[in-house]
Amino acid sequence: MIENKLTVKGMSCSHCENAVTTELTELGVSKVTASHKNDTVIVDFDPTKLTIERIKEEIIDLGYEVV
C-alpha cells in the first residue's frame, strides 16, 4: 500500500467529502480521508491494482479539480 495526498478544489461540504470517499472506495482505494476545509484527499491504495492517475480521473469525473 502507498499513501498519496492530493489537493482537490471544489469540495464545499461534508456531502462532497462523502461523494469522493464513496466513489474512491468503490474504485478500490483502501482508505480515503477527504477534507473540504483543507482541500485535501488522502488515499491509501495498492499500486499493483490502481494508479494515482485513475484516482485523479475519478475525482475529476465527480466535478472537482485536482491540482
Write the CATH number for 34.
Answer: 3.30.70.100
- Residues 6 or more apart in contact with residue 46 via CB below 8 angstroms: 1, 28, 30
Q: Could you please report the per-residue DSSP string of 15-63?
A: HHHHHHHHHHHHHT-SEEEEETTTTEEEEEE-TTT--HHHHHHHHHHTT
Per-residue pLDDT, 38: 98
Q: The domain containing residue 54 runs over which residues? A: 2-66
pTM of the model: 0.95
Query: Digits of tens for pLDDT over the chain (67 positions)?
Result: 999 999 999 999 999 999 999 999 999 999 999 999 999 999 999 999 999 999 999 999 999 999 9
Indicate the DSSP class of residue 7: E
Per-residue pLDDT, 28: 97
Structural domains in the chain (count): 1
Per-residue pLDDT, 9: 98
Per-residue pLDDT, 65: 98
